[in-house]
Structure 1
Amino acid sequence: MKIGLRLLIGYFLIVAVAGYFVVSIFLQEVKPGVRRATEGTLVDTANVLAQFARKDMLLGNVSDGLLVDAFSHLNQRPIGANIGGIRKNRNEYRVYLTDLDGRVIFDSSGEAVGQDYSRWNDVHLTLRGKYGARSTRLDPQDEESSVMYVAAPVLDGERLLGVLSVGKPNKAMAPVINRSERRILLAGGLLLGIALLIGMAFVWWINRSISRLVGYADAVASGQVPPLPRVGSVELDRLAQALESMRLKLEGKTYVEQYVHTLTHELKSPLAAIRGAAELLQESPPPATAKRFLINIEQQSERIQRLIDKLLIQSRLESRVGVELMPLEIASLIGATVAGKEAQARSRGIALKIGRLDPARLHGDELLLSQALTNLIDNALDFTPHGGTVAIDGERTEGGYLLSVTDSGSGIPDYALDKVFDRFYSLPRADRHKSTGLGLNFVREVALLHQGSIVLQNADPQGAKAMLSLPIT
């Protein structure tokens, strides 16, 4: 199982458990809360109605007093109230009045007049100066049939006249309770949905960051030099830095081993030539012969010096020391570089031409790009005969820039097409000494540094064409 999925499942379980307990607590508190609020309303109502009952009892006309008149006209028309989407059309209160013996002398429902209610808690406790209330089921088997009663004393000054009780069925509160429970469940479901979306976004970010690091590691493993990815997290940034540090150390070790091996191999030939010439000079040859040996020693020494100088430049490029990518105008750079090679081309009798040259701005190292183009032009001039042509073009493509150098020489042998960019690989040049074999390798390193590519292929009908692709950011 992927780590992102594990994080998502763990996060969602934590939120789900926490949400379950919160929603459960709210649901458990809805019904008692509504009933407590209703009980408070019943207390107020009972105490208000007790004032009307006092007048009726003092006048001795309870059976035809204010309470009877009020309740006889109460439900003659629908109330028509809309309380938050809950319709209320009739009064749901039941009010009864008892005397000091607890006998019912008024009942708004007309059911209990004359009955002894002295044993019910609402009447019993109120007659003894306490708070009286009760909840009684109309059907002992049905919890929803319970009715809540709250009593208030009917007083004439300090003298107790009787007890007035107000009751309301708990079923009347069911719509409010059910609506509250539905809203809580809906809010809980919405909370889980939002939590799931947040978790998925978080996991997507984690997976994306890890995928960037994996892509970076895969690119390094395949020999590329990708930029260090930015993942936007302190811990993952430290991991990326650790991977980069490991890459540099491994590359440095391989780099030293490879360079020691290749440098030793390349120095064998000129050193052998110098040693042979020195041994022959010890035999005191004729002056003409000695001069030829001395010239050979000088040429081989220059070759060694060129090789070392180019290796130093190559190593600085491959280690990215002093490399800084900045905005530059590529067309101006191409024009300036070609202008600097015109005298060399003219001296060899070769026409150096600029064809298409699209303007474009890109990020790069001006010195390295100029040197890479110089190497491509030098390579083309070396293989172009007298009277030939070297053409340079710069074309803006979709999302990039294509710089091409085309010569009219003999082209590249098939066996060398996949080796020309290898370090120290060089093809023979007509009437010229062997090159160091580092020029095209340098161009490839510059292309990789700029997230581009270099391709060298045979042109039609003859010659070779080098194509350097650079991204435009």
Structure 2
Amino acid sequence: MPIGVRIFLVYFLFVGLAGWFVLSTVMDEIRPGVRQSTEETLVDTANLLAEILRDDLKSGRLAQGRLPELLKAYGQRQPQAQIWGVEKSAVNHRIYVTDAKGIVLLDSSGVALGQDYSRWNDVYRTLRGEYGARSTREDPQDEDSSVMYVAAPIKDGQQIIGVVSVAKPNRSLQPYIERSQTRLTWLGTGLIALGLLVGGLLSWWLSGSLRKLTRYAQAVSQGQRAELPTLRGGELAQLAEAVQKMRTELEGKDYVEQYVHTLTHELKSPLAAIRGAAELLEGEMPAEQRQRFVANIASEGARLQQLIERLLNLALVEQRQGLEEQVPVPLRELVDEALHSQAVRIEAAGLQIDNSVEPHLSALGERFLLRQALANLLDNALDFTPPGGLLRFAAQLDGAQLELSLYNQGPAIPDYALARLTERFYSLPRPSSGRKSTGLGLNFVQEVAGLHGGALQVGNVAGGVRVSLTLPSA
């Protein structure tokens, strides 16, 4: 299972359980919270009524006063109030008053007048000087039919002469409870969903960054050219830099070791030739023969110099992971420069040159590397073109790619050599001298093409050989 999925599942489990626990706890607290607030209001109302009713109860004028009419009128009121989206169209309070023995003297509902309420908890506890409250179901089978009663003592000095109770059915609170629960459910669900979305994005970003690093490490292990991914996020960026540093150090060590072995092997032959010629020159010999050995030493010295220069150029491009610049490079101008640098050799061989590259075609890349790559292709073509032969440069645009081709008239490349032409130090004998080159030219061109995101192709065509270099178009 990918690490991003595992992180998301752990995050999902944590956020889901935490959200469910918090939401469930808050939902369970809504109902008692609303009822506690209502009870607190009933306490204030009961105590206010106790002060208002004290004088009438003390004088025995409670039933003859205006209070029964006021309570009746109160019960018929229709507030038409909009409270947090819930319409209140009727009053819900029931008020009754008892004397010091618990006998109901006044009842706003009119159903309990004259009854003995002394055993009801609200009246019983209040007459004893305690806080009196009770909750009683109107229908024993319906838990939603409970009514909350809160009482307050009516005092004459320190003597309790009666009790006033204020009641409110819990059913009237239900719309507010349900509305709060609904809003909280939507809000909680939204917050959990948002948390999971953030967790998903975090997991996707983290796993994406790790995938980039993994692909980079795999490309490095396969010897491919790859750029270090750009990562943000502290430790990930440090990890990427550490991987890059490790790669540079390991590749540098392996590269130096490989090149030392390669250079040692390639230097053996020319050094042996120079040493042999030098030993022979120590003895007496005809001037003509001496001149031939001196020429051999000069030739092998030039070969060594060429080998070292090409190895350095090849090492330059092999160790690079990207281009230092990307500018439009006119191809016709580049071809003209390469032909001009080989003008003496071309004239000496009497070669025919056809530069068919359109002036408006330009490749996007690093001019220095492209010039060196083209010089290697031309140098290789000149080695295999017979005197009086034809060299033809052409270019064509194919979408975002530009193909530069070089045709040289001459012998076909053997089938066994076609697949190995770009191998380092692999070379075919030159028709003019029978000697091999350094075998680094086409390998260098292939590396330059790879740096530009292009490709090199070499193949036989009618009457000669065609080399094509694919590059990004400017």
Q: Shorter-chain TM-score: which interval? A: 0.7 to 0.9
| TM-score scaled by length of structure 1 | 0.87
Residue 230 of structure 1 corresponds to: 230
Distance of aligned partners of 1:99 and 1:324 in 2 relative to their CA distance in 1, 3 Å threshold: same
Q: Is the 8 A contact 1:79 1:89 kept in 2?
A: yes
What's 1:174 paired with? 174
- Deviation of residue 391 (structure 1)? 0.7
Q: Is 1:263 equivalent to 2:263 in the alignment?
A: yes
Amino acid at match of 2:439: G
Aligned to 1:185, the other structure's residue is in SS state helix
SS at match of 1:355: coil
Deviation at 1:387, TM superposition (A): 4.2
RMSD across aligned C-alpha pairs, in angstroms?
A: 3.1
The equivalent of 1:30 in structure 2 is 30
Letter in 2 for 1:45: T
Shift of 1:35: 0.8
Counterpart residue number, 1:326 = 325
* Distance (whole Å) between structure 2 residues aligned to residue 223 and residue 102 of structure 1: 99
Q: Letter of the 1:339 partner, please give it.
A: E
What CA distance in whole angstroms lies between the structure 1 residues aligned with 2:66 and 2:395?
109
What's the offset of the Cα at 1:98?
Answer: 1.3
Aligned to 2:395: 393
Q: Distance in 1 between matches of 2:67 and 2:360?
A: 100
Q: Distance in 1 between matches of 2:98 and 2:265?
A: 121
Please give the per-residue CA displacement for 1:325-382, whole angstroms capped at 9, x wherever unaligned: 1241222x651453342362452433151423555574x4332222122222322333
Q: Cα distance, 1:151 vs. partner?
A: 2.1
Q: Which one-letter code corresponds to 2:299 in the other structure? A: Q
Is contact 2:318-2:447 (8 Å) kept? yes
Residue 337 (structure 2) aligns with: 339
**d(CA) in 1 for partners of 2:193 and 2:174?**
28
Contact 2:332 2:357 in 1 (8 A): no
Matches of 1:240 and 1:435, distance apart in 2: 41
Distance 1:33 1:419 in 2: 85
Cα 1:155–1:461, aligned 2, differ >3 Å: closer, same or farther? farther
Measured after TM superposition, the shift of residue 317 of structure 1 is 2.8
Aligned-pair CA distance for 1:406: 3.6
Give secondary structure in 2 for the equivalent of 1:238: helix
Amino acid at match of 2:109: S
Question: What is the match of residue 309 of structure 2?
Answer: 309
- Cα displacement string for residues 102-139 of structure 1 (whole angstroms, at most 9, x for unaligned residues): 21111122222112223434334444555433323345
Deviation at 1:245, TM superposition (A): 2.9
1:368 lines up with 2:369 in the alignment: yes
Superposed structure 1 runs of 4+ greater than 6 Å apart: 156-159
CA gap of 1:226–1:470, structure 2 versus 1, over 3 A, is farther
The corresponding residue for 2:381 is: 380
Q: Is the 8 A contact 1:357 1:393 kept in 2?
A: no
Q: How does 1:237-276 map to 2 (within 5 A)?
A: 237-276=237-276
Aligned residues: 468
CA distance in 2, matches of 1:471, 1:267: 40
CA distance in 2, matches of 1:278, 1:213: 56
Task: Give how far 1:4 is off.
Answer: 1.5
Contact preservation (8 Å) 2:393, 2:404: no
Letter in 2 for 1:438: L
How far 1:51 moved relative to its partner? 5.6
Question: 2:118 matched to which residue of 1?
Answer: 118
CA distance in 1, matches of 2:391, 2:445: 21
1:387-429 CA-to-partner distances (Å, cap 9, x unmatched) read 413214263633x444433434444332222111111112233
The SS at the match of 1:356 is coil
Alignment of 1:33-432 (within 5 A): 33-50=33-50, 53-54=53-54, 57=57, 60=60, 62-63=62-63, 65-74=65-74, 76=76, 79-127=79-127, 131-139=131-139, 142-154=142-154, 162-320=162-320, 325-331=324-330, 335-336=333-334, 338-342=336-340, 344-345=342-343, 346-347=346-347, 348=349, 349-358=351-360, 362=364, 364-385=365-386, 386-393=388-395, 395=397, 397-398=399-400, 400-431=401-432
Partner of 1:443: 445
The C-alpha deviation readout for 1:49-100, integer Å capped at 9, x for no partner, is 4465457547755446433223434455754444334343332221111123
SS in structure 2 of the partner of residue 326 of structure 1: coil
Shift of 1:157: 8.2
CA distance in 2, matches of 1:408, 1:61: 134
Shift of 1:227: 0.5
Q: Distance in 1 between matches of 2:19 and 2:367?
A: 60
Specify the SS of the correspondent of 1:114: coil
2:436 alignment partner AA: K
- Name the CA distance, whole Å, in 1 between partners of 2:233 and 2:460: 48
Where in structure 1 are there 5+ consecutive unaligned residues?
none
Q: Relative to structure 1, is the Cα distance of residues 163 and 406 closer, same or farther in structure 2, using a 3 angstrom cutoff? A: farther
Tell me, in whole angstroms, the C-alpha distance in 2 between the residues paired with 1:373 and 1:183: 73
Q: Provide TM-score, normalisation by structure 2.
A: 0.87
Q: Provide the C-alpha distance between the structure 2 equivalents of 1:202 and 1:301, rounded to a whole number of angstroms.
A: 62
The worse-fitting range, judged by mean Cα deviation, of 253-262 and 419-428 is 253-262
Partner residue in 2 for 1:434: 436
